[in-house]
Amino acid sequence: MRASKRSVRDRAVCAAVVLLAALAASLARASTVVAVPEPPQVPAGAFILLDHVTGTVLAEHDADVPRPPASLTKLMTAYLAFEALERGEMTLDEQVVVSKKAWRMGGSRMFIEVGNEVAVEDLLRGLIVQSGNDAAVALAERIAGSEEAFVALMNERAASLGMASTTFRNSTGLPAAGHVSTARDLAVLSRAILADFPEFRPLFAETEFTYNGIRQYNRNRLLRYDDSVDGLKTGYTSTAGYCVALTAERDGMRLVAVVLGAETAAARRAAGRALLDYGFETFETRRLFAKGEPIRAAKVWMGEVDSAPLGVAWDLHVTIPRGAYDALSAIVSFRDGLIAPLEAGAETGTLSVMLGGQLLSAAPVVVLEPVSLGDAWTRFKHMLLLRYGGDE
């Protein structure tokens, strides 16, 4: 039984080694890396386009310049609401009493009434689909007790996500001194929502929501014009201009685009669509190695087996120009001659993927299967070999 298991494992390792060799050889055959066309000229103050899985930036302009984010602020309000639901601190069918402050909010609204009870699920739709400022404040007060306390949570979460240039002053995105973010930070937040709360992604794709007898349509009109688009959020104020955070998936590749400061809703829509089309037409994302897939074997001393299969600690993806796959190379550096006992997941090296001399991605190489100590004779023999040199 053990020999059969080892045979299967060794064949998998050999197959992975062949793939590595093929990738390395292809680099030698490729004389030039595929040329990438220039990104489109986007009519906006700032923008960024990136791959959702790898985070690879495909196009950007003034992506680190702080700007008012308008209702893209509500992405953070939604994120914290999703966290509260995940932790069991509130439920979708829980009824929230509408405060006078929430009812009095100006700007876009879902038209909740003071003193009424509204389900959390309806508030989320009012927040995301209708961009209701009243829904944002009602959720903030339910989660933190007051909007002021909720804003502190927003800034704490922004810092933990790495949104270094973001400061929130309210839960809505209404103009306030010092209330700023960047295209890059908002892309980070968008990726976090998509990765951490996939079960709530359908909310961002809803095109309309009716509450209190009032039907309102999602202002993200690309949801109706482009079947690949399924989120996330639009925003507008006179100081911020027209803004949008978009996500779309085509042929298994998901992109995130953020556009800030467009002059009109039509310009915002055109900018977002141009960026997405450019990204999907110019780039592709591939998974080269899967977590748990054997790629090499390392010699093991003092163990019950002579070798241990190695693989990557997580799925390793790369985003590359279309047509550049044959120019990739994969390099595995690992520590051979491991000493038992070994735990599964023990780190022993690195797998790096290169394109034309540029590092695209890297992942730790880990032991895939635990290795126990061998019997007394094996340990004694290996101890002598290790001390005096030699091999079996």
More confident of the two residues 132 and 30:
132
Domain 2-31+290-388 CATH superfamily: D-Ala-D-Ala carboxypeptidase, C-terminal domain (2.60.410.10)
pLDDT confidence tier of residue 215, bands split at 50, 70 and 90 = very high
Partner residues linked to 257 by β-bridges: 49, 246
| In the block, residue with structure tokens 């810092």 | 159
CA 335/CA 349 separation, integer angstroms: 6
Output the pLDDT for position 331. Answer: 93
Over residues 83-100, the mean pLDDT reads 98
What pLDDT digit, counting tens, does each position of 240-251 carry?
Answer: 999 999 999 999
Where residue 356 falls (left for φ over 0; alpha for ψ -120 to 50; beta otherwise) is left
pLDDT confidence tier of residue 392, bands split at 50, 70 and 90 = low
Examine the pLDDT at 335 and tell me if it is beyond 90.
no
Q: Where is average pLDDT lowest: 4-8, 66-70, 304-308, 347-351?
A: 4-8
Output the pLDDT for position 192. Answer: 98
- Nearest-CA neighbor of 286 among 347, 205, 355? 355
Examine the pLDDT at 43 and tell me if it is beyond 50.
yes
What pLDDT digit, counting tens, does each position of 221-247 carry?
Answer: 999 999 999 999 999 999 999 999 999
Is the CB of residue 125 less than 8 Å from the CB of residue 209? yes
pLDDT confidence tier of residue 220, bands split at 50, 70 and 90 = very high
Output the pLDDT for position 1. Answer: 30
More confident of the two residues 7 and 67:
67
Q: Nearest-5° angle of CA 355, CA 314, CA 75?
A: 90
Output the pLDDT for position 356. Answer: 84
CA 123/CA 140 separation, integer angstroms: 11
Instruction: Please list the alpha-helical segments (H only) found in the chain.
Output: 2-29, 74-86, 100-104, 120-128, 133-144, 147-161, 183-196, 201-205, 222-225, 265-282, 376-388
More confident of the two residues 208 and 380:
208
| In the block, residue with structure tokens 């979708």 | 92
pLDDT confidence tier of residue 390, bands split at 50, 70 and 90 = low
Active-site amino acid positions: 71, 74, 131
Q: Average pLDDT of the chain?
A: 90
* Parts of the chain belonging to CATH 2.60.410.10: 2-31+290-388
| In the block, residue with structure tokens 């997941």 | 345
DSSP 297: E
Domain 46-283 in CATH 3.40.50.670: no
Q: What are phi and psi of 89, to 5 degrees?
A: -80, -20
What pLDDT digit, counting tens, does each position of 162-208 carry?
Answer: 999 999 999 999 999 999 999 999 999 999 999 999 999 999 999 99
* Parts of the chain belonging to CATH 3.40.710.10: 46-283
